């Protein structure tokens, strides 16, 4: 259910902004310019921008084309590793939960009991380690 058109530009409103019957764009223009808006906002020039989606050449993800043709994850990996010329390093695949539980059990047997130290060695968050410890306690 809409609240009618904006009294300034005529856009359909779900809720009037600030009790003046204006849309958010007209109200912010009024706040910025200090005069009541009387004309609708200018139309965008040119065709709308479209983004071509292609597979990322580094990891094969379908979200390629973010920057340099890579997906966002590969681009962040490339930035984090110092922008190597050969591109982003391959993604690191972590162990599955069963592998982490086995490693956690081994480290506990070695005498490491601190959740922070276990998390550092396993490469996971301390809350994840606490969940592993709860699960290991319930096992026979």
Residue 12 parent element (H or E)? strand 12-13
| Torsion angle (degrees, nearest 10) of CA 103, 108, 111, 117 | 70
CA dihedral 49, 55, 59, 63 (to 10 degrees): 40
Give the model confidence (pLDDT) of 80-137 as tens digits: 888 888 888 777 666 678 888 899 999 999 999 899 999 888 888 899 999 999 999 9
Contact yes or no for 27/34 (Cβ under 8 A): no
Q: Encoding tokens for residue 136?
A: 């290991």
Whether the predicted pLDDT of 1 surpasses 50:
no
The mean pLDDT value of the chain amounts to 77
Is pLDDT of 72 > 50?
yes
CB neighbours of 70 closer than 8 A, spacing ≥ 6?
Answer: 56, 57, 58, 59, 64, 78, 87, 88
Model confidence over 24-66: pLDDT tens digits? 777 777 777 766 566 555 556 666 655 556 778 877 777 666 7
Rounded Cα–Cα distance for residues 59 and 139 (Å): 37
Tokens coding 36: 């009541």
pTM: predicted TM-score of the whole model, two decimal places: 0.36
């Amino acid at each position: 259910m809409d609240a009618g058109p904006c009294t300034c530009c005529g856009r359909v409103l779900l809720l009037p902004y600030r009790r003046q019957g204006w849309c958010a764009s007209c109200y912010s223009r009024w706040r910025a310019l200090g005069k009541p808006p009387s004309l609708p906002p200018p139309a965008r020039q040119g065709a709308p921008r479209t983004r071509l989606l292609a597979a990322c050449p580094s990891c094969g993800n379908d979200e390629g084309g973010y920057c340099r043709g890579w997906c966002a994850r590969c681009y962040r990996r490339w930035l984090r590793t110092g922008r190597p010329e050969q591109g982003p390093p391959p993604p690191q695949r972590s162990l599955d939960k069963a592998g982490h539980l086995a490693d956690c059990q081994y480290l506990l047997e070695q005498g490491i009991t601190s959740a922070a130290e276990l998390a550092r060695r396993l490469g996971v968050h301390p809350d994840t380690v606490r969940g592993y410890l709860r699960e290991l306690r319930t096992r026979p």
